[in-house]
């Protein structure tokens, strides 16, 4: 425990002279600096353990003199290090007791020494219990950022960041780490432009349970739907061309009514559905006739049925829907919707089926203003409700979403709010900063203006503490757009 408090960085000292328990203002030693988002600690007043505090703002102070301005104007910048003081404003995060994070409720006294915690102490304070994946390091330490898999899968995640900041690379790293670290994984990746065509991804998926690529031209199987017995009857009668007076129709109707009275709420629209009804038909020749009609209606050969997406997901670690061959956005949206719909219906009814869904550039799939989106209004009218449903109830039905977007404000607000519980924010545009600030509940969000690429702020429930953490993301593999820009194509780089 002793070496937790190895490095002293400063002392609690308030300019105003008041000291509370939530917030602590610090004066830094001359040779120390701290950055926004960094974790520091003080000694617990009665126990030999650290109480963590986090830097919300770091700044320099230098008293101004009346002649400063005039001297600077005249080009006389006299550096005067003696006058400069480093300051930091921190908020208390708390200390751990029996696995629970608690807060110190007494004021943090003046002149309390403030330390930079040892990496081990920080890791043990932040890292979640149970299985986790490690996505990078906590800046500026080499402590790994481990996120609880259970939480990630229970909530999914939203990735935001401006152009070229590292969103797709993070999704790629996440998928690779899930593939490698989770037993029997199943991922559905919706990739509109082939950004995730990657040998590394393909080989890794193959090694850990199978890889299947689906194109926009791949025909999907129509999933059998279930319907109420009377609707089933109506459908059957319409497709068989039976009049309502026909004996077969009347028999079927009577059975449908009887089933509803018995409390049967749905029958599968398939041969199997018919097979559950036939034994209830008394007359042998009506039964024979219905059998023949049914054979005609449910006759598709399996190959005509197209690809069964649920089976594809179940029998592979990664199903990669690569829509780079699509001829328009409606095709992409409609196909994605069909796949999501089928997987969701399965996940809801079958507790052995589950899939993590990854969608990059999600503002194209669930835009805040559908009339400004890439696909037609009709396509979005059908897609957005599915996305909303999965964003809210997907995770608890074994279907979490992992989505990324350039612009927080361009994604359907309901979805971004829902998914904002677990957020990775790379450098964002100024217009999204306030929204990010409110999602994160901390000024640390403002550091998202300055983050270099590959750096993000993580805030969510997959750590022991629900405070933002700045993370340097591991790059596991290149996404396809790397090295495909115009200057590279022209060979213009030296």
Ligand X SMILES: Nc1ncnc2c1ncn2[C@@H]1O[C@H](COP(=O)(O)OP(=O)(O)OP(=O)(O)O)[C@@H](O)[C@H]1O
Q: Which residues of 123-148 are buried (b: 16+ CB within 10 A; e: fewer)?
A: bebbbbeeebbebbbbbebebbbbbb
- Is residue 51 reached through a cis peptide bond, with omega within 30 degrees of 0 on the bond before it? no
- Rounded-to-integer distance, Cα 38 and Cα 128, Å: 18
Which among 287-295, 335-343, 416-424, 472-480 is the span making contact with ligand X, rule CB under 6 A? 472-480
Are 101 and 94 a contacting pair, CB within 8 Å? yes
Site for Mg ion in 136-175 (CB under 5 A): 168
Query: Which of Mg ion, ligand X, none interacts with 186 (beta carbon under 5 to 8 A by kind)?
Result: none
Residues 473-492, one symbol each (x = binds ligand X by CB under 6 A, - = not), give x-x--xx-xx----------
- CB closer to Mg ion, 166 vs 209: 166
Tell me: does residue 174 bind ligand X (CB under 6 A): no
Q: Is 164 in the site for ligand X (CB under 6 A)?
A: yes
> Quick check: 425 and 436 in contact, CB under 8 A?
yes
Which DSSP letter does residue 276 get? H
Q: How far is the CB of 173 from ligand X (least distance, A)?
A: 7
Tracing tokens 């089976």 back to the chain, one arrives at 311
Residue 134 token pair: 């490690």
The single residue among 168, 204, 316, 418 that binds ligand X, judged by CB under 6 A, is 168
Q: What angle do CA 100, 106, 111 make, to 5 degrees?
A: 110
406 makes contact with Mg ion (CB under 5 A): no
Is the distance from CB of 426 to CB of 159 less than 8 angstroms?
yes
| CB closer to ligand X out of 92 and 198 | 198
Please state the closest distance from residue 339 (CB atom) to Mg ion, in A. Answer: 21
Q: Which residue from 43, 287, 413, 453 is in contact with ligand X, where contact means CB under 6 A?
A: 453
Say how many residues touch Mg ion, by CB under 5 A.
1
Q: Give the count of alpha carbons within 13 A of 306, CB side only.
A: 16
Tell me the pairing of strands 157-160 and 85-97.
unpaired
Distance of CA 222 to the CA centre of its chain: 28
Residue of 117, 156, 161, 394 that binds ligand X (CB under 6 A):
161
CB of 49 to Mg ion, least distance (A): 42
As a whole number of Å, the CA-based R_g of the chain is 30
Helix (H, G, I), strand (E, B) or coil at 270: coil
Cβ at position 383, least distance to Mg ion in Å: 20
Maximum Cα interatomic distance, the chain, rounded to a whole number of Å: 109
- CA 394: distance to chain centroid? 12
User: CB of 156: closest distance to ligand X in angstroms?
Assistant: 18
Query: Least Å distance between CB 377 and Mg ion?
Result: 26
Residue nearest ligand X (C-beta atom): 454
Q: Map the footprint of ligand X across residues 372-431, applying CB under 6 A.
A: 406
Residue 453 binds which entry of Mg ion, ligand X, none, with Cβ cut-offs from 5 to 8 Å by kind? Answer: ligand X
In angstroms, give the least distance from the CB of 287 to ligand X.
59
Where on the chain is the footprint of ligand X (CB under 6 A)? 161, 163-169, 406, 453-454, 473, 475, 478-479, 481-482
Where on the chain is the footprint of Mg ion (CB under 5 A)? 168
């Amino acid at each position: 425990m002793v070496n937790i408090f190895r490095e002293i960085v400063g002392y609690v000292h308030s300019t105003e002279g008041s000291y509370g328990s939530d917030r602590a203002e610090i004066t830094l030693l001359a040779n120390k600096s701290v950055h926004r988002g960094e974790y520091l600690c003080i000694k617990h007043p009665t126990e030999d353990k650290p109480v963590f505090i986090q830097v919300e703002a770091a700044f320099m102070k230098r008293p101004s003199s009346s002649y400063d301005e005039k001297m600077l104007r005249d080009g006389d910048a006299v550096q005067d290090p003696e006058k400069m003081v480093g300051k930091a404003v921190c908020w208390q995060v708390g200390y751990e007791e029996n696995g629970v994070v608690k807060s110190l409720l007494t004021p943090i006294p003046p002149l309390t020494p403030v330390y930079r915690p040892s990496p081990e102490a920080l890791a043990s304070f932040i890292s979640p219990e149970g299985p986790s994946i490690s996505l990078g390091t906590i800046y500026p330490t080499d402590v790994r950022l481990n996120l609880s898999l259970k939480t990630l899968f229970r909530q999914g995640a939203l990735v935001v960041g401006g152009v070229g900041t590292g969103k797709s690379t993070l999704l790629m790293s996440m998928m690779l780490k899930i593939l490698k670290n989770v037993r029997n994984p199943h991922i559905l990746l919706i990739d509109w432009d082939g950004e995730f065509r990657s040998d590394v991804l393909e080989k890794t998926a193959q090694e850990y349970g199978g890889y299947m690529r689906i194109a926009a031209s791949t025909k999907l199987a129509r999933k059998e739907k279930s319907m109420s017995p009377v609707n089933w009857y109506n459908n059957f009668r319409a497709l068989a061309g039976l009049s309502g007076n026909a004996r077969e129709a009347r028999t079927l109707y009577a059975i449908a009514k009887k089933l509803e009275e018995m409390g049967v709420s749905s029958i599968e629209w398939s041969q199997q559905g018919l097979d559950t009804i036939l034994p209830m038909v008394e007359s042998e020749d009506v039964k024979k006739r219905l059998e023949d009609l049914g054979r005609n209606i449910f006759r598709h050969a399996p190959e005509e049925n197209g690809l069964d997406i649920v089976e594809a997901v179940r029998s592979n670690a990664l199903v990669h829907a690569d829509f780079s061959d699509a001829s328009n956005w409606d095709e992409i949206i409609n196909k994605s919707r069909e796949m999501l719909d089928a997987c969701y219906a399965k996940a809801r009814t079958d507790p052995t089926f589950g899939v993590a869904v990854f969608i990059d550039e999600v503002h194209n799939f669930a835009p805040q203003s559908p009339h400004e989106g890439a696909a037609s209004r009709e396509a979005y009218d059908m897609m957005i409700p599915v996305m909303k449903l999965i964003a809210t109830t997907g995770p608890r039905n074994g279907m979490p979403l992992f989505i990324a977007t350039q612009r927080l404000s361009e994604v359907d607000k309901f979805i971004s709010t829902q998914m904002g519980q677990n957020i990775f924010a790379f450098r964002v545009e100024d217009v999204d900063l306030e929204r990010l600030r409110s999602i994160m509940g901390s000024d640390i969000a403002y550091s998202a203006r300055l983050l270099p690429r590959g750096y993000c702020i993580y805030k969510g429930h997959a750590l022991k503490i629900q405070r933002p953490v700045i993370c340097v993301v591991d790059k596991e593999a290149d996404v396809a757009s790397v090295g495909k820009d115009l200057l590279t194509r022209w060979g213009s780089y030296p």
